[in-house]
């Protein structure tokens, strides 16, 4: 109670003091301003207006500085088009130029555009047969182009690369049929190879041999999302009765509908590519011989569906194909950018960790704060943010480093222990000196700081100080365990260099 009253008296006195100071300041400034104004009135008009102009400029500059300091900057749009908006050639080329200038390896994405250019020049229509392994894609091509040397096998995975076959339809147009490896096999990379080729084609013939499996549904959904003109081909229909075939086709149409796609009835067809089968021939005297024989093919409806699609002028096949390739190039660019960022961030973290270790080795009485909140911490944070296209305010950087610093205290004993053990585990290190243990510990903390920052930048695309510091706190023991050998080796290198 007493204390409460005391505080109130002190506050009262404080208000009185502030009142006097404020009144004094007001009188002082008013007098000075009036004085200046009187003198300005006596002087030439140019001086008056120049003075006023300078005052306004100062106020505007001060407001600008405060705005920069306090108002959060929006993360840069970094060339992202609004979701769903189709990319144009100019957009993708501009992105490639920017990324290339920044040091990203854009060759994969560039190759897509070159391939597109050469296909545009050749002017042929590309049809890609796409589907799960062993559904009969190669057999369908063989049925369309009987002279072609197509690999067909009952054992899945008979097609392991991309091949193009020339087919002349009844109209006399030259069409390129693309055979790709079936998806869902075990060999790595083949699914991607097939999907990329499907994206490059004008039309995709999705081959299945019954109702869609879960994986097939996923592929079809993906192709529909890419706005690919599709024909759904149910092959091996010889295994089903006419009624069963009708039921399967109905089911397929229903599935496309459920996916939110639309496919006309004549774009879902049941065919039989034929394929090969073993036939047992009985010779004279009861001897049996197994012969390979060709099943008769029945692909008339497929040919009709293809011809209709190519004749349909409402389907701007070239425009849709180009767009799909631009999107594919953009995906490849995004992959290259991810890879570039991961390599560059590793370099940045390593070099900052090295500086922290060198600093700690040189320090007389080391303390983590001089590193984390000091020059090395700020420089690393800025560099990593810049790499991820984040433009944080200086205040955010400071806040992140402050918050992280307050978490270091708790983690330091553990870090020192891990550093000590790490050094002991290294062959050839004799008695472990305290300074070296500290240097490894600080290096580890830096390493963890950099990695947690990269983790949050990857997720948020900008520096959210609380998030990044939380990630640092939660992940520090894991990062330290993972980095101990690397950082210890680095510290030992530096120590030998220095010694
Ligand atoms: N019953 C029947 N079997 C077929 C038909 N078409 C193909 N087959 C058989 O299905 C098997 C696979 O045929 P492929 O043409 O190699 O299949 P694919 O889709 O190219 O296979 P991958 O290249 O491995 O993905 C072979 O044993 C063919 O004989 C058909 O219409 N009916
Ligand atoms: Mg094949």
In the reported structure, the alpha carbon of residue 159 is separated from the centroid of ligand 2 by a whole-number distance in angstroms of 4
Residue 190 · residue 114 · CB < 8 Å = no
What gap in Å lies between CA 26 and CA 8, rounded to an integer? Answer: 26
Q: How far is the CA of 194 from the centre of ligand 2 (A)?
A: 11
**How many angstroms is it from 130 CA to the middle of ligand 1?**
13
pLDDT given for residue 80 in this prediction: 44
> What's the pLDDT at 4?
80
Residue nearest ligand 1's atom 12 by CA = 134
Q: How many residues does the chain have?
A: 499
pTM of the shown model: 0.73
Residues with CB under 6 Å of ligand 1 are 133-139, 152-154, 156-159, 181-182, 235-236, 238-239, 272-276, 295
Encode burial over 314-330: b for 16+ CB neighbours within 10 A, e otherwise. eeebeebbbbbbbbbbb
Residue 458 confidence (pLDDT)? 92
Q: What residues form DSSP beta bridges with 270?
A: 234
Q: How far is CA 270 from CA 234, 254, 463, in A?
A: 5, 15, 55
Name the residue among 76, 114, 70 with its Cα closest to residue 93: 114
Confidence (pLDDT) at 495:
78
Res 312: pLDDT: 78
Whole-number Å distance, alpha carbon 232 to ligand 1 midpoint, is 16
DSSP per residue over 430-470, as a string? -SPPHHHHHHHHHHHHHHHHHHHHHHHHHHHSS--HHHHHH
3-state secondary structure of 259: coil
CB neighbour class for 410 (10 Å; exposed up to 12, middle 13-18, buried from 19): exposed
How would you label 253-285 residue by residue, b for 16+ Cβ within 10 Å and e otherwise?
bebbeebeeebeeebbbbbbbbbeeeeeeeeee
**pLDDT score of 426:** 78
At 79 the pLDDT is 40
**What does the DSSP 8-state code read for residue 298?**
B
Grouped pLDDT means (10 residues each) for the chain, 499 residues: 80 94 94 89 87 92 84 49 68 94 94 94 92 93 85 71 87 87 84 92 95 94 89 95 95 94 90 83 79 84 91 80 94 95 95 89 64 83 93 91 88 87 77 78 92 93 91 91 90 77
Mark the residues whose beta carbon lies below 5 A from ion ligand 2: 137-138, 158-159
Task: Report yes or no: 438 and 360 within 8 Å, Cβ to Cβ.
Answer: yes
As given in the structure block, the two tokens for residue 115 are: 């391939």
Atom index in ligand 1 nearest the CA of residue 158 equals 24
Atom number of ligand 1 nearest to Cα 276? 29
Q: Which atom of ligand 1 is nearest to the CA of 297?
A: 31
User: How far, in Å, from the CA of 210 to the mean position of ligand 2?
Assistant: 17
Task: Specify the DSSP class assigned to residue 76.
Answer: P
Mark residue 275 as left, alpha or beta (left: phi above 0; alpha: psi -120 to 50; beta: remaining): left
Alpha-carbon span 422 to 416, nearest angstrom: 10
Q: What is the pLDDT of residue 425?
A: 81
Atom of ligand 1 lying closest to residue 159 CA: 23
Query: Helices (H) and strands (E) in the chain — how many of each?
Result: 15, 8
Instruction: Tell how far the Cα of 298 is from the centroid of ligand 1, in angstroms.
Output: 14
At 315 the pLDDT is 63
SS3 372: helix
Rounded to whole angstroms, how far apart are CA atoms 228 and 230? 6
8 Å CB contact between 271 and 235: yes
Please identify, by atom number, the ligand 1 atom nearest to the C-alpha of residue 180. 23
Distance 171 CA to ligand 1 centre (A): 28
Q: Say what the pLDDT of residue 326 is.
A: 95
- Alpha-carbon distance of 190 to 207, in angstroms, equals 17
Sign of CA dihedral 287, 288, 293, 295: positive
* pLDDT score for 432: 62
Considering every ligand atom, which ligand is closest to the CA of 140?
Answer: 1
Question: What residue's CA is closest to ligand 1, atom 8?
Answer: 275
Q: Minimal CA–CA distance to 167: which of 191, 152, 150?
A: 150
């Amino acid at each position: 109670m007493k204390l409460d009253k005391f505080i109130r008296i002190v506050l009262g006195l404080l208000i009185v003091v502030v009142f006097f100071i404020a009144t004094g300041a007001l009188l002082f400034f008013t007098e000075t301003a009036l004085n200046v104004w009187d003198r300005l009135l006596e002087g030439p008009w140019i001086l008056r207006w120049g003075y006023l102009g300078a005052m306004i400029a100062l106020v505007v500059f001060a407001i600008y500085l405060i705005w920069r300091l306090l108002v959060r900057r929006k993360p840069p749009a970094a060339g992202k088009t609004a979701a769903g908006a189709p990319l144009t050639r100019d957009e993708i080329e501009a992105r490639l130029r920017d990324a290339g200038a920044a040091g990203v390896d854009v060759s994969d994405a560039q190759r897509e555009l070159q391939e597109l250019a050469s296909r545009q020049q050749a002017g042929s229509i590309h049809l890609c047969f796409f589907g799960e392994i062993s559904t009969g894609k190669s057999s369908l091509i063989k049925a369309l182009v009987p002279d072609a040397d197509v690999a067909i096998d009952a054992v899945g995975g008979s097609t392991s690369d991309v091949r193009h076959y020339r087919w002349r339809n009844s109209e006399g147009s030259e069409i390129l049929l693309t055979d790709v490896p079936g998806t869902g096999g075990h060999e790595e990379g083949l699914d991607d190879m097939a999907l990329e080729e499907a994206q490059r084609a004008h039309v995709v013939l999705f081959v299945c041999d019954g109702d869609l499996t879960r994986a097939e549904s996923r592929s079809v959904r993906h192709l529909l999302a890419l706005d690919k003109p599709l024909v759904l081909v149910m092959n091996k229909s010889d295994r089903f009765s006419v009624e069963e075939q009708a039921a399967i086709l109905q089911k397929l149409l229903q599935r496309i509908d459920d996916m939110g796609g639309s496919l006309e009835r004549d774009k879902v067809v049941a065919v039989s590519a034929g394929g090969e089968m073993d036939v047992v021939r009985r010779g004279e005297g009861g001897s049996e011989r197994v012969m390979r024989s060709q099943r008769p093919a029945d692909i008339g409806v497929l040919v009709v569906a293809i011809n209709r699609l190519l004749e349909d002028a409402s389907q701007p096949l070239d425009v849709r194909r180009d767009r799909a390739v631009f999107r594919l190039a953009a995906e490849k660019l995004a992959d290259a950018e991810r890879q570039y960022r991961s390599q560059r961030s590793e370099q940045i973290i390593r070099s900052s960790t090295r500086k922290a270790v060198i600093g700690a080795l040189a320090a007389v009485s080391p303390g983590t704060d001089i590193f984390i909140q000091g020059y090395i911490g700020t420089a690393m944070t800025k560099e990593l943010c810049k790499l991820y296209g984040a433009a944080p305010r200086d205040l955010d950087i400071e806040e992140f480093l402050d918050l992280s610093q307050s978490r270091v205290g708790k983690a330091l004993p553990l870090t020192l222990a891990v550093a000590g053990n790490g050094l002991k585990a290294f062959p050839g290190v004799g008695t472990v000196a305290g300074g070296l243990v500290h240097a490894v510990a600080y290096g580890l903390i830096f390493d963890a700081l950099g990695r947690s920052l990269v983790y949050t930048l990857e997720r948020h695309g900008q520096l959210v100080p609380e998030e990044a510091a939380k990630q640092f706190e939660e992940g520090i023991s894991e990062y330290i365990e993972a980095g101990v050998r690397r950082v210890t080796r680095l510290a030992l290198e530096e120590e030998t260099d220095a010694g």
